[in-house]
A and B are shown apart, each in its own frame.
Chain A
Amino acid sequence: MSFSPSSRNREELGEVAINLNPMMDMFAVLIPALLMLSAVVEVAIVEVSAPSIGPSSEPPPKEDKPPLNLTVTILDSGYMLTASGGELSGVPKVDANAPQAQIPIKEMPVVCSRYRGTTPPPRSRNGDRPQCDDKNARDAVMFWAYDTETLNQAILKIHRDYPDERRLIVAAESSVQYESIMDTLDATRVTRLADGSLETMFDQVVLSPATNM
């Protein structure tokens, strides 16, 4: 007598339906949350060293050449360039008794898109001008503005004269706003050459305490 083969193997497995609704609910919550949290703007950094006040505890390193100590001072009236360790070619010397900007602010067309709801710095000089808004965001409007292009060219010339120097001291009047400092750092760190390549100039920035002139 023989047994009939087992019918277990011949039984077809039915399709198992997994309840995906909880997973869908989770996705429906997570995706909007992540979309909300994801960075809308892309940010970058500019490295800066801390300001030092008072005499340094460490003795200065012995070098063959004294450091240039190039200092860019941001005034309400423009940029002032000084260096304790060398001559700055192409930049007029600053009179110690009556310091004034060698690269003064000038009235120029400024594209409004960056300054919606305000005016470009120095804002104390543009107070009487109509503010940039959504309507004129794409227009170039006449404002008093820092001449970053001329500063960039002056710094490039100094960099060519002192190619080993990378340290720059940035000082400013106490009322100068952070935006002007960032613009100055951009103009002194890197320049774009005629062939489109970038040249690093003074990328070791030290912020000096505020001055009042």
Chain B
Amino acid sequence: MSTENDPASLSNAGGPGMVAGHVRSQDELYSEMRAREKKKAKRMRRKTAHDHPVDVSINSLLDILSVILVFLMKSYSASSVNIKPSKELQIPFTKSITAPAEATAVTVTLKHILVDDVPIMDLEEGGKVRPQDLAEEQMMLQPLYNKLLDEVEKRKKIMQRNTSVEAKIDMTLIADRFVPFDLLTRVMYTAGQAEFSKFDFIAIKLEGG
């Protein structure tokens, strides 16, 4: 039985071995056949590679990423206060080394007052309080007081339900470096009226203390 790849069958008269009256030698036919097979094999390899992509081992890469992820998550959870300095909120520096603790965060800029990142009050140019927001001999900031009362209520409820929680109603004050003392004392007075007694002033730690 002769096949296409059999050189004997190719050399038969009138077959593919006869080109323009020239009979190819056995060697020529064999080399031509080998070249054709090589091409075919290459085509097959390419096709297979396309169907099944080569598996690159990503285990070591995953190990590295897992370590980075754990490290980042740990460092993220370690800082209870997250401050995003901006043009409106430039925090002053301090030589103190005491780390901040979990507390209600009040942010004071020259334009707004925020409680736990929620804007509560808008201020006029230069950190001046709008007259309609003032109460109690011009010292209390009414919208802030209402919000802080809610916060205190919330904390008290938590403390009632979970006795393991330390009974502290503290405040973290994050203020812009340009905030006038006048506004600062008003914020503190208002917080004092809402039962906050201890304030933690946040500042950027100076290197070397």
Given contacts A24-B58, A27-B69, contact A46 B94 (CB under 8 A): yes
**Per-residue A-contact encoding for B161-173, CB less than 8 Å = 1, 0 else:** 0000000000010
Given contacts A39-B79, A44-B205, A45-B98, contact A177 B181 (CB under 8 A): yes
B203 touches A182 (CB 8 A): yes
Q: Which residues of A contact B151 (CB under 8 A)?
A: none
Q: Does B15 contact A (CB under 8 A)?
A: no
Q: Which residues of B contact A20 (CB under 8 A)?
A: 58-59, 62
A178 touches B184 (CB 8 A): yes
A189 touches B181 (CB 8 A): no
A37 to B105, CA, bound (A): 17
- Write the chain A residue with the least CB distance to B87: A117
Q: Does B30 contact A (CB under 8 A)?
A: no
Interface of A is mostly: mixed
A44 to B205, CA, bound (A): 5
Number of interface residues of A (CB under 8 A): 49
Q: Does B24 contact A (CB under 8 A)?
A: no
Number of interface residues of B (CB under 8 A): 56
- Write the chain B residue with the least CB distance to A23: B62
Q: Which residues of A contact B68 (CB under 8 A)?
A: 31
Nearest CB of A to B112, in Å: 15
A47 to B97, CA, bound (A): 11
The contact of A53 among B101, B189, B204, by CB within 8 Å, is B189
A212 to B72, CA, bound (A): 48
Q: Does A91 contact B (CB under 8 A)?
A: no
**Per-residue B-contact encoding for A25-69, CB less than 8 Å = 1, 0 else:** 001001100110111111111111111110000000000000000
Q: Does A160 contact B (CB under 8 A)?
A: no
B interface vs A, CB < 8 Å? 55, 58-59, 61-62, 65-66, 68-69, 72-73, 75-76, 79, 81-83, 85, 91-101, 139, 172, 175-182, 184-185, 188-189, 191-192, 196-205, 209
Smallest CB-CB A-B distances: 8 pairs: A50-B192, A174-B182, A45-B200, A179-B177, A34-B72, A172-B181, A179-B92, A44-B205
Known: A45-B202, A50-B191. 9 other contacts (CB 8 A): A27-B65, A43-B100, A43-B203, A50-B188, A51-B185, A178-B179, A185-B201, A210-B181, A210-B185
A interface vs B, CB < 8 Å? 17, 20, 23-24, 27, 30-31, 34-35, 37-53, 74, 114, 118, 172-179, 181-183, 185-186, 189-190, 198, 207-210
